[in-house]
Amino acid sequence: MHIPNDVVPLIYDTVKLVNDRILTGKAGINILVEQGRINENTARDFIHIRRRMIDGKRFTRNSSAYITEYFLLRIKKDYGHDGLERALKSLKLHIEYYSKKRGTKLNKLRALYEAYSLKTSYSEKVDEQDEIIAQLKLHKLTREQLIDMLKQLKSKPSSKISIKGERYSRDNFTIALLKILRDFKCQICDTSILKANGSFYIEAAHIVPKRDRGEESSSNILILCPNHHKEFDYGKVENLQQIDERISFKLNGRLVDLPLLIE
Ligand SMILES: [Zn+2]
């Protein structure tokens, strides 16, 4: 059944009360039928969908991309990043199940899933890197000490690093150190982007991608501005050579030659 967009907040709020056992299922369904003008079965479907999204489990009823996105955003607000991750897992399982069962592609839901998984994982990483950078700045470490940390990280087998009781991913720690040591400047064009809060924005690009077992170290990570990062990822990269802590390659026809060593 078609559901007008302006009813969607009422659906979410009511279903949440049922999921939280503040309302009985029957009372919730009554509200949705009377005030939301949706039928009983559809009301029941939403109770099922939200419950499963919260638990990170597969749901079997389908709903529109608009409603699904609204649910994802509200779940993120209610349960934070972990909640959103669980809801995305649940959505993925639903897409696999439902598209197989009905022989449909569910392109809109797939696009939604892709967009939100990229957004959360990437922005979460950058947030953690910024936190580490802030922590490291508080400690007023010398360049030598930072380089030393970078070397130690390389040989650490654990994937989590603790500072003052906070645990951070080793990969984000390595990138945070590299951003500081490279002075937040693009290694190709020297650009840095000043943010309103006085800190700098810069990106990290893997030479050998992580999915191809690329290492998390200074010899496999370039610090690049957003433009050069995208050009490196999507442009034509030729004659890539890495010799003695130097890397050279042709990027869309232009020669790039960079030192990888940090001194
Ligand atoms: Zn650049």
Distance 223 CA to ligand 1 centre (A): 9
For residue 194, the tally of other CB atoms under 10 A from its CB is 10
Q: How far apart are CA 15 and CA 65, in angstroms?
A: 18
Q: How many angstroms is it from 246 CA to the middle of ligand 1?
A: 18
What number of other Cβ atoms are within 10 A of residue 150's Cβ? 19
| Residue 209 CA to ligand 1 centre (angstroms) | 19
Q: Which residues of 64-98 are buried (b: 16+ CB within 10 A; e: fewer)?
A: eeebbbbbbebbbeeeeeebbbbbbbbbbbbbeeb
Give 122 Cα–ligand 1 centroid separation in angstroms.
Answer: 20
3-state secondary structure (DSSP) of residue 161:
strand
176 close to 135: Cβ distance less than 8 angstroms = no
Rounded distance from Cα 243 to ligand 1 centre (Å)? 22
Residue type, 49: I
Residue at token pair 């569910």: 106
Tens digit of each residue's pLDDT (9 = 90 or more) over 202-260? 999 998 877 677 788 888 999 999 999 999 989 999 999 998 789 999 999 999 999 88
* Per-residue model confidence as pLDDT tens digits over 162-182: 777 777 888 899 999 999 999
- Cα(202) to ligand 1 centroid in Å equals 9
- From the CA of 226, how far away is ligand 1's center (Å)? 7
Annotated domain spans of the chain = 5-105, 125-181
Q: Record the pTM.
A: 0.61
